[in-house]
């Protein structure tokens, strides 16, 4: 076993949406940063075929800027055979807004941005253990490819999604929905090519009952075939009637009530957010392994169902199965502030707001087929949800931050995770620079830096 000893100002563990933003903002504010990633690429869920949702609020106002928007502007500069590598933020009657982008080019853009800021990157690396003294996180021990790496830092930002570092420190956490503890199920994303999506849209136009939704889905008018024809940047949630019919006939291999089709920037290709793995805990390696095995088998069977029963998919074939399971919910840790359902419903903002969320409350049933999807006003995200209230030197960003289950079901989408990560990175860098705890950072200074970087902190900016 090889051993290395390293020291940084800020260590970010997990290079998904929140981790990328945290690493970039910490480095841009003077910190020496290490970015640790278990995969061999940057982006996490930003590289598995998903769209970006929630740049606009339910009234069509832009509520997310900063690094999250910077990424899409950079992507849009890439000229490709099919146009640019990112769409505009399109208003959507269901999701508020949809932004499509090229997931493979995103990996390159992300890497170039990280290298430009002189951030050190470690791929194929997991956290083995942590060193906590007097409730302060001093070191983490990393392991990868025969190396054991001891890393010390002033601030560690857990952006693993599942809160793997925070868990190892012994910090308090919650899991699952209130009252039941049931976890939202993950999805294994995949892409099929050879699709005639215009034929699918024609089918929906001829069969409008296939756009009928359950009573738990809140959607504005105009979410129909004409909407999908108006612009290729769409997410299609449809065919509940067909899915129900096929389930009754024993022909539906997935545990959900509809089909989610995400259009691709590439002609003839769509991404599918359809598999569902009930009873899965994304923070349990045995549970995740079972779900991924189940996912591969569901994908093969479901693709055959699409070919047989969904117009436009007759000649489709699997072109990509993404390497990471899309986990919606696992651990959430305790911070000096907590984002709550009440904050969302009331559209709460205050002087500690470091970003805006506005994506609907989106809860996939972990013990059934349904989804609760409720539109809400824009709400402020407080800085304190990124700061552990139990472990000094530990910060949290992304879906493991300090939120209740309902708030997390809105704030878990990727643009909002980037907003949270950007603020955490700034807070970490200021704490290092000023030799103070992240909890003592002046939030007004964090807000000033965010505004200088084109973040949006109030509706209508």
The span from the CA of 449 to the CA of 54, in Å, is: 23
The radius of gyration of the chain's CA atoms, rounded to the nearest angstrom, is 21
How many CB atoms sit inside 10 A of residue 292's CB?
Answer: 19
Largest CA distance in the chain: 67
What residues contact residue 441 under an 8 Å CB cut-off, 6+ apart? 383, 427, 430, 431, 434
**For the chain, which domains are there?**
2-181+329-452 (3.50.50.60), 190-321 (no CATH)
Q: 301, 193, 211, 285: which is closest to 247 by C-alpha?
A: 301
Residue 186 is classified by DSSP as P
Residue carrying structure tokens 């259009």: 263
Q: 147, 145, 169: which is closest to 157 by C-alpha?
A: 169
pLDDT value, residue 419: 98
pTM: 0.97
Please check whether residue 390 is in contact with residue 172, taking contact to mean a CB–CB distance below 8 angstroms. yes
The span from the CA of 445 to the CA of 451, in Å, is: 10
pLDDT value, residue 86: 95
Please check whether residue 83 is in contact with residue 38, taking contact to mean a CB–CB distance below 8 angstroms. no
Sign (positive/negative) of CA torsion 184, 190, 194, 198? positive
The span from the CA of 12 to the CA of 14, in Å, is: 6
Sign (positive/negative) of CA torsion 372, 103, 399, 422? negative
Q: 28, 14, 4: which is closest to 425 by C-alpha?
A: 28
Write the Ramachandran bin of 141: left for phi over 0, alpha for psi from -120 to 50, otherwise beta: beta
Q: Which residue pairs, CB below 8 angstroms and at least 24 apart, start in 149-152?
A: 149/3, 149/4, 149/5, 149/6, 149/122, 149/125, 150/3, 150/4, 150/5, 150/6, 151/5, 151/6, 151/7, 151/8, 151/11, 151/34, 152/6, 152/7, 152/8
Per-residue pLDDT of the chain (461 residues; tens, 9 = 90+): 899 999 999 999 999 999 999 999 999 999 999 999 999 999 999 999 999 999 999 999 999 999 999 999 999 998 887 889 999 999 999 999 999 999 999 999 999 999 999 999 999 999 999 999 999 999 999 999 999 999 999 999 999 999 999 999 999 999 999 889 999 999 999 999 999 999 999 999 999 999 999 999 999 999 999 999 999 999 999 999 999 999 999 999 999 999 999 999 999 999 999 999 999 999 999 999 999 999 999 999 999 999 999 999 999 999 999 998 999 999 999 999 999 999 999 999 999 999 999 999 999 999 988 899 999 999 999 999 999 999 999 999 999 999 999 999 999 999 999 999 999 999 999 999 999 999 999 999 999 999 999 999 999 75
The span from the CA of 376 to the CA of 95, in Å, is: 11
Cα 321 from chain centroid?
18
pLDDT value, residue 342: 97
The span from the CA of 241 to the CA of 208, in Å, is: 10
């Amino acid at each position: 076993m090889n051993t290395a000893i390293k020291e940084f100002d800020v260590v970010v563990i997990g290079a998904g949406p929140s981790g990328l933003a945290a690493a970039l903002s910490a480095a841009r504010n003077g910190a020496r940063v290490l970015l640790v990633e278990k995969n061999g690429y940057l982006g996490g869920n930003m590289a598995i075929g998903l769209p970006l949702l929630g740049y606009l609020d339910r009234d069509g106002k832009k509520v997310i800027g900063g690094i999250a928007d910077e990424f899409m502007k950079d992507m849009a500069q890439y000229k490709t055979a099919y146009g640019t590598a990112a769409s505009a933020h399109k208003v959507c009657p269901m999701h508020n807004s949809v932004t499509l982008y090229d997931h493979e080019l995103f990996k390159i853009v992300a890497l170039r941005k990280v290298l430009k800021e002189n951030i050190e990157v470690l791929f194929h690396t997991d956290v083995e253990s942590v060193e906590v003294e007097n409730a302060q996180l001093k070191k983490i021990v990393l392991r990868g490819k025969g190396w054991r790496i001891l890393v010390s830092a002033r601030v560690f930002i857990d952006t693993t999604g599942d809160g793997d570092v925070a868990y190892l420190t012994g910090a308090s956490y919650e899991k699952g929905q209130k009252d039941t503890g049931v976890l939202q199920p993950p999805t294994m994303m995949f892409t099929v090519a050879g699709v005639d999506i215009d034929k699918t849209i024609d089918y929906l136009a001829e069969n409008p009952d296939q756009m009928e939704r359950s009573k738990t889905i809140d959607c504005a008018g105009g979410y129909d075939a004409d909407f999908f024809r108006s612009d290729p940047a769409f997410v299609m949630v449809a065919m509940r009637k067909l899915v129900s019919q096929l389930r009754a006939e024993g022909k539906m291999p997935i545990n959900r009530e509809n089909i989610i089709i995400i259009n691709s920037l590439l002609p003839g290709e769509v991404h599918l957010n359809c598999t569902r793995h009930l009873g899965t805990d994304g923070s349990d390696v045995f549970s995740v392994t079972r779900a991924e095995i189940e996912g591969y088998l569901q994908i093969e069977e479901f693709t055959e169902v699409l070919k047989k029963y969904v117009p436009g998919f007759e000649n489709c074939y699997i072109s990509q199965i993404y390497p990471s399971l899309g986990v919606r919910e696992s651990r959430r840790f305790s911070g000096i502030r907590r984002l709550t359902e009440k904050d969302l419903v009331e559209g709460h903002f205050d002087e500690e707001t470091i970003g805006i969320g506005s994506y609907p409350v989106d809860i996939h049933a972990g013990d059934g087929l349904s989804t609760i999807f409720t539109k809400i006003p824009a709400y402020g995200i407080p800085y304190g949800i990124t700061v552990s209230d139990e472990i000094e030197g530990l910060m949290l960003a992304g879906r493991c931050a300090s939120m209740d289950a309902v708030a997390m079901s809105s704030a878990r989408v990727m643009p909002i995770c980037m907003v949270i990560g950007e603020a955490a990175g700034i807070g970490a860098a200021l704490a290092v620079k000023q030799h103070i705890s992240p909890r003592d950072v002046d939030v007004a200074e964090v807000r000033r830096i965010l505004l200088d970087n084109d973040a949006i902190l109030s509706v209508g900016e």
